[in-house]
Amino acid sequence: MSVNIEFFQKISNELNLKNVKLIAVSKTKSEKDIMLLYSEGQRIFGENKVQEMLSKAESLPKDIKWHLIGHLQTNKVKYIVEFVSMVHSIDSLKLLLEIDRQAQKYNRAINCLLQFHIATEESKFGLNLEEANDLLNAEAFKSLKNIRICGVMGMASFSDDNALIRGEFRNLKNIYQRIKDAFFLEDDAFCEISMGMSGDFEIATSEGSSMVRIGSLLFGQR
Ligand SMILES: *Cc1c(COP(=O)(O)O)cnc(C)c1O
């Protein structure tokens, strides 16, 4: 069996004690596998593709909180706003504007994290601090009513250099604090740092993450 129930029980207890939320990353995994963790009490699942999240959300229990952790194209926003619990991958004002526009139809405020590019590797996705400042200062941003910015998200380099990874997580924590101080000091909703995956979640939690996104250690290799 590929789902590691024993690891799940151990890690969810440990994270609970640290007040860190566990996002069980179920991308490519079956509904049956998801239900195995659901019956152990897990309610937050992470997916990186809109279509896959949509079809799973349709057939699985309605109290599951679905987190979109992968890149989101503006033309797909309309498929998820009705039910998505959090979008971790906000990387443009354009995307926020579209989420706001679609969310109005359902009278919802969508929980969003700003994704930062913290790794050394080239990546198309993720903001830097200057881009985030520009976004949060934009007049168009200030008028949005159907989005809720809840914090930041980032992925460390794919590396076995623990010092490098630790430095990248520390950088994300600093970014979080600077944005908190500049824009969200009075806003308790801005409190999340989504960092840490199967290979680096221990480093991430020791650097202050509030959410970890763990896939392969729970569900087996993809
Ligand atoms: C796949 C994925 C994860 C989980 O990765 P694992 O190494 O399997 O734990 C976490 N975050 C994002 C953004 C992902 O795409």
Q: Counting atoms of ligand 1 from 1, which one is nearest the CA of 23?
A: 10
CB 180 within 8 A of CB 190: yes
CB 209 within 8 A of CB 203: no
CA of 217 to the centre of ligand 1 (A): 10
Q: Counting atoms of ligand 1 from 1, which one is nearest the CA of 217?
A: 9
Average per-residue pLDDT for the chain: 97
| Stretch 86-110: mean pLDDT | 98
CA of 146 to the centre of ligand 1 (A): 27
Phi, psi dihedrals of residue 167, rounded to the nearest 5°: -60, -40
The pLDDT, as a whole number, for residue 78 is 98
Question: Of 98, 192, 108, whose CA–CA distance to 152 is shortest?
Answer: 192
Tell me the whole-structure pTM to 2 decimals.
0.97
| Stretch 45-74: mean pLDDT | 98
CA of 95 to the centre of ligand 1 (A): 22
Confidence of residue 121 (pLDDT cuts 50, 70, 90): confident
Question: Of 221, 175, 199, 220, whose CA–CA distance to 212 is shortest?
Answer: 199
